[in-house]
Amino acid sequence: MKQFLITPSAGKRLIAKALIKHGAINKALKSGTVAIIAGTTNGYIAEEILSSIDQADDFSRKRFFRGIILPPGGPVNSTGRISDESKFPGDVIIQDGIWKKGKTIFDVVNDLNEGDIILKGVNALNYPNKKAGIYIGDPLGGTIGTAIQAVVGRRVRLILPVGMEKRVYEDLNELAVKLNAPGAKGPRLLPVPGEIFTEIEAIYEITGVKAELVASGGVSGAEGSIWLAIEGDDEQLIKAEKLIKSISLEPNFQF
């Protein structure tokens, strides 16, 4: 057993590298649609997936989000949106292996069917219960409000990439009742059903080792970091150590 520190940005890169090995995603890339809804973690995923199909030249993570959480005093309005959204590039929609530049989930949701994939980041993770919740700032329910109709209506697969830094311990349904109640202030919360994919699933996907969260935190750029204890045979541990070393110096997210 070995322990490794993973920063939030390294965790995003790790999740992205693992998802290019995901069987359902690879199948949909060959014949189907993969819809990567804009978000900071999904920016890393889009980068890795587009690189895997040699179409990443025109992609940038810098404005690949609709809402973002920054420290107090940052350039966002009350909904967490950047004041100037003119540089938003759209979601990454890949149909039959081709990136349809400029399209969004709103353009393709009615055409999605079983076998297609939607990737959507989340804001709250109750990992022991494998439950996730998404902050809602849009009065029409945002991108998840649109995407969920394909998930529950046509069995489109929803994958929820999320770092362990976003963990909470309360029941998400109870939190949603409180945050969505008339008179409450701030974003609303929508618990969503989907396949949760954290750094733990990512390491397993690539190396086969079992990982467990054992500690967290840090300063000077390590805020939000997690310590994972990893168990496996010698070959798996060597592979895991090499993998984590390769992403350990991932720079902090910038836009």
What's the pTM?
Answer: 0.93
Give the model's confidence band at 85: pLDDT under 50 very low, under 70 low, under 90 confident, else very high.
low
Contacts of 49 (CB under 8 A, 6+ apart): 16, 19, 20, 25, 29, 34, 36, 92, 94
Give the model's confidence band at 208: pLDDT under 50 very low, under 70 low, under 90 confident, else very high.
very high
Give the model's confidence band at 77: pLDDT under 50 very low, under 70 low, under 90 confident, else very high.
low
**Is position 246 within any domain?**
no
pLDDT for 69 equals 77
- Choose among 59, 114, 137, 138: nearest CA to 91: 59
**Residue 96 in this model has a pLDDT that exceeds 90:** yes
**Is position 166 within any domain?**
yes
- Write out pLDDT tens, residues 142-166: 999 999 999 999 999 999 999 999 9
**Is position 150 within any domain?**
yes
Number of H helices, E strands in the chain: 8, 12
C-alpha 157: how far from its chain's center?
14
**Is position 237 within any domain?**
no
Domain tally for the chain? 1
Mean pLDDT value of segment 2-28: 97
- Write out pLDDT tens, residues 60-69: 998 898 877 7
**Is position 62 within any domain?**
yes
pLDDT for 72 equals 75
pLDDT for 254 equals 74
Percent of the chain with pLDDT over 90: 85
Element holding 43 (H helix, E strand): helix 40-52
Give the model's confidence band at 82: pLDDT under 50 very low, under 70 low, under 90 confident, else very high.
low
Percent of the chain with pLDDT over 70: 94
What span, in angstroms and rounded, lies between the C-alpha atoms of 197 and 249?
21
Task: Share the mean pLDDT of the chain.
Answer: 93
**Is position 84 within any domain?**
no
> Residues in the chain, how many?
255
Q: What is the CATH number of the domain that holds 200?
A: 3.40.50
- Choose among 89, 144, 97, 90: nearest CA to 118: 144
Give the model's confidence band at 86: pLDDT under 50 very low, under 70 low, under 90 confident, else very high.
low
pLDDT for 201 equals 98
Which has more confidence, 78 or 139?
139
What is the residue range of 24's domain?
A: 13-67+91-205
**Is position 226 within any domain?**
no
pLDDT for 75 equals 58
- Write out pLDDT tens, residues 101-156: 999 999 999 999 999 999 999 999 999 999 999 999 999 999 999 999 999 999 99
**Is position 121 within any domain?**
yes
Name which of 25-39, 74-88, 240-254 the model is least confident about. Answer: 74-88
